[in-house]
């Protein structure tokens, strides 16, 4: 899947570079993947999309994770996988789960890394609608009161990671962006909500807002690729890229552990358990 900062970056790049292009052909599920999800029969995507022009893209997110919604005239593509653009004559990926060929000879591809969805349906269909309008954490609607309601309606035995990055509470906030959010809030990923006081909760709220905004504004994280296969400009604090370096605040060795289906990174001094 892609996470929220990269979804915004991809949508902006698609609006600047792909709007106006016409789809000549579309191939879905050419290389089957056990964790690739489609709406309906992927074999029908070609007939559904051929002749459609790219109208606009949005990162208004689905209710369950970060998506890039691409309106292709009467059709909608809602994609939660990395998206790449290939100029005319450029080598195409050997394996892909969705490939759009444009009439000018360029292409757009999606290749699953872990899992992802590539849904295609009429633009007025329910796949375009949000079953429950969940605000993006980068929107004004995601305010202190809304964050507080999420907190109140969660089990206080939840860990900080479980609260932020499971059960689709916050669209597009996954295990990747989670690490820097918690570091900036000085909260350990395993801290139980019941141990976090009001001041720390407020600090966590502001960290969600400001960290995600910085990631988006700098073109996504340096651990992820954009539409043109370039790394983002946001330098991650805690990630696979920085594990070999000491904590930038206290100089202590960064720790990586498996927790809740993925790795967590933390500083045991700056983020005490």
pLDDT tens track for 223-263:
999 999 999 999 999 999 999 999 999 999 999 999 998 99
Q: What is the mean pLDDT of the chain?
A: 93
- Boundary-marking domain end, from 66, 92, 122: 122
Q: Is residue 62 part of a domain?
A: yes
Q: Quick check: 10 and 68 in contact, CB under 8 A?
A: yes
pTM above 0.85, yes or no: yes
pLDDT at 105: 98
- What is the domain range of residue 232? 144-266
pLDDT level of residue 61 (50, 70, 90 thresholds): low
Check whether residue 68 and residue 152 sit in a common domain: no
Number of domains present in the structure of the chain: 2
pLDDT digits over 172-186, tens only? Answer: 899 999 999 999 999
Check whether residue 152 and residue 99 sit in a common domain: no
pLDDT digits over 199-214, tens only? Answer: 999 999 999 999 999 9
């Amino acid at each position: 899947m892609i996470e929220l900062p990269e979804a915004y970056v991809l949508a902006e790049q698609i609006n600047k570079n792909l709007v106006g292009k016409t789809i000549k052909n579309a191939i879905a599920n050419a290389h089957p993947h056990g964790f690739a999800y489609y709406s309906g029969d992927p074999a029908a995507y070609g007939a559904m999309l051929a002749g459609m022009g790219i109208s606009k893209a949005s990162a208004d997110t689905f209710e369950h994770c970060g998506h890039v919604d691409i309106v292709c005239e009467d059709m909608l593509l809602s994609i939660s996988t990395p998206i790449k653009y290939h100029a005319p004559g450029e080598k195409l990926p050997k394996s892909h789960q969705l490939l759009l060929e444009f009439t000018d000879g360029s292409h757009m591809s999606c290749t699953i890394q872990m899992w992802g969805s590539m849904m295609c349906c009429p633009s007025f269909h329910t796949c375009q609608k949000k079953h429950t309008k969940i605000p993006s954490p980068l929107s004004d609607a995601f305010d202190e009161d809304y964050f507080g309601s999420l907190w109140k309606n969660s089990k206080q035995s939840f860990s900080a990671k479980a609260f932020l990055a499971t059960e689709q509470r916050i669209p597009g906030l996954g295990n990747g962006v989670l690490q820097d959010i918690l570091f900036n809030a000085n909260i350990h990923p395993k801290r139980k909500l019941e141990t976090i006081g009001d001041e720390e909760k407020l600090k966590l709220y502001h960290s969600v807002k400001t960290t995600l905004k910085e990631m988006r504004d700098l073109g996504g994280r340096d651990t992820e690729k954009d539409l043109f296969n370039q790394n983002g400009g946001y330098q991650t604090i805690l990630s696979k890229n920085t594990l070999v370096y000491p904590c930038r605040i206290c100089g202590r060795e960064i720790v990586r552990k498996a927790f809740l289906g993925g790795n967590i990174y933390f500083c045991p001094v700056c983020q005490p358990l």
